[in-house]
């Protein structure tokens, strides 16, 4: 049994004394202990070495005592396992030397046996569970099929992913074939993660907001729905789409246990758009953690009051930035842990 099950209780919609708190990207680049490991090991070595991935996962828990840990990994381990080369270039980000631009490029793309292709992630989960000693739950995650497609087609990060959208609109058959392969891999991957010991999973649709509401339904949401349908009996599923306020109603009615909200949507609107019955997660502006600690404390308290303490998980509206002072992150976490109505 998990000793601090606040996060899991919030996912079930139970009444709690205070909401649970964790931060997207909490295992990472704002922590000096993470930066020490970064200097010694390159990005994918950190992802693919269970000892390193598990150590990085528990670093923020040791420092701040969040109510949930999220496994250190990356969404791009999925295309790697699918026989698509992915590099992580320093000061550049992800780079895919052979992007998918036409239907025949899919011939070499496989749906792998995830236990062997991504066994290092499953080993990292088991190692992390040992380190956590059932103190708090562990979250596993994957990128949405659309978000993965964006990188596979674009070949790198982008502000607008025009090539990815163009591929979908000019070659929809090839796009749907790729999206389905990513979806099948993701379902198998997340199921294996649950079997290995994660207590909940989150699907990150980081680039969903690049699509119009109509195109979102066709090229992103229907594939996320497949993932939710396949996983919801195995573990709680959190769906998070950045810039996807227009899809909050579908997300709330999808069978997911919780819906993540970014900082551009107010708590009141998020509750309204989701019908008021589902657990919400979010939505503090990550850049607001640059504010003085006393400002952060006041704003976090107000955010909890606006969302309400029940059916709510305190988080950021996207990943924590690398330049956030440690005491500011601490102010964010502490305010939630000390919260009283």
Residue numbering of the annotated binding site for substrate? 25-29, 44, 74, 151, 206, 318
Residues with Cβ within 8 Å of 40's Cβ and at least 6 positions away in sequence, in order, are none
Task: Give the span between the Cα atoms of 55 and 228, in whole angstroms.
Answer: 29
Sole residue written with tokens 């404390």: 297
Choose among 145, 166, 167, 147: nearest CA to 157: 147
Tokens of 123: 């080993």
Question: CA triplet 52, 6, 228: central angle to 5 degrees?
Answer: 75
What sign does the dihedral 12-13-14-16 (CA atoms) show? positive
Residue 280: its H or E element: strand 279-284
Binding residues: 25-29, 44, 74, 151, 206, 318
Cis upstream peptide for 214 (omega within 30°): no
């Amino acid at each position: 049994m998990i000793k601090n099950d606040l996060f899991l209780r919030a996912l079930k919609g139970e009444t709690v004394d205070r909401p649970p708190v964790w931060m997207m990207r909490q295992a990472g680049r704002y922590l000096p202990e993470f930066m020490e490991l970064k200097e010694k090991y390159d990005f994918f070595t950190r992802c693919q070495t269970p000892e390193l991935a598990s150590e990085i996962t528990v670093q923020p828990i040791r420092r701040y005592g969040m109510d949930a840990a999220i496994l250190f990994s990356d969404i791009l381990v999925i295309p790697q396992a699918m026989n698509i080369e992915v590099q992580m270039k320093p000061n550049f980000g992800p780079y895919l030397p052979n992007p998918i631009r036409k239907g025949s490029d899919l011939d070499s793309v496989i749906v792998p046996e995830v236990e062997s292709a991504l066994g290092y992630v499953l080993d990292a989960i088991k190692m992390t569970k040992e380190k956590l000693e059932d103190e708090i739950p562990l979250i596993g995650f994957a990128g949405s099929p659309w978000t993965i497609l964006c990188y596979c087609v674009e070949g790198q990060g982008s502000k607008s992913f025009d090539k990815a959208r163009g591929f979908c609109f000019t070659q929809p058959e090839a796009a749907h074939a790729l999206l389905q392969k990513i979806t099948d891999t993701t379902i198998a991957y997340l199921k294996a993660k649950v079997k290995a010991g994660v207590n909940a999973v989150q699907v990150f649709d980081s680039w969903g907001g690049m699509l119009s509401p109509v195109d979102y339904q066709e090229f992103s949401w229907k594939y996320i729905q497949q993932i939710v349908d396949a996983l919801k009996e195995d573990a709680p599923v959190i769906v998070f789409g950045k810039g996807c306020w227009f899809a909050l109603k579908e997300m709330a009615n999808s069978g997911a246990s919780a819906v993540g909200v970014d900082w551009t949507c107010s708590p009141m609107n998020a509750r309204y758009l989701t019908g008021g019955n589902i657990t919400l997660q979010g939505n503090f502006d990550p850049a607001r953690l640059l504010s003085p600690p006393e400002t952060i404390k006041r704003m976090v308290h107000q955010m909890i009051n606006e969302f309400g303490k029940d059916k709510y998980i305190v988080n950021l509206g996207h990943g924590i930035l690398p330049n956030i002072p440690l005491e500011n992150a601490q102010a964010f976490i502490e305010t939630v842990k000390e919260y009283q109505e």
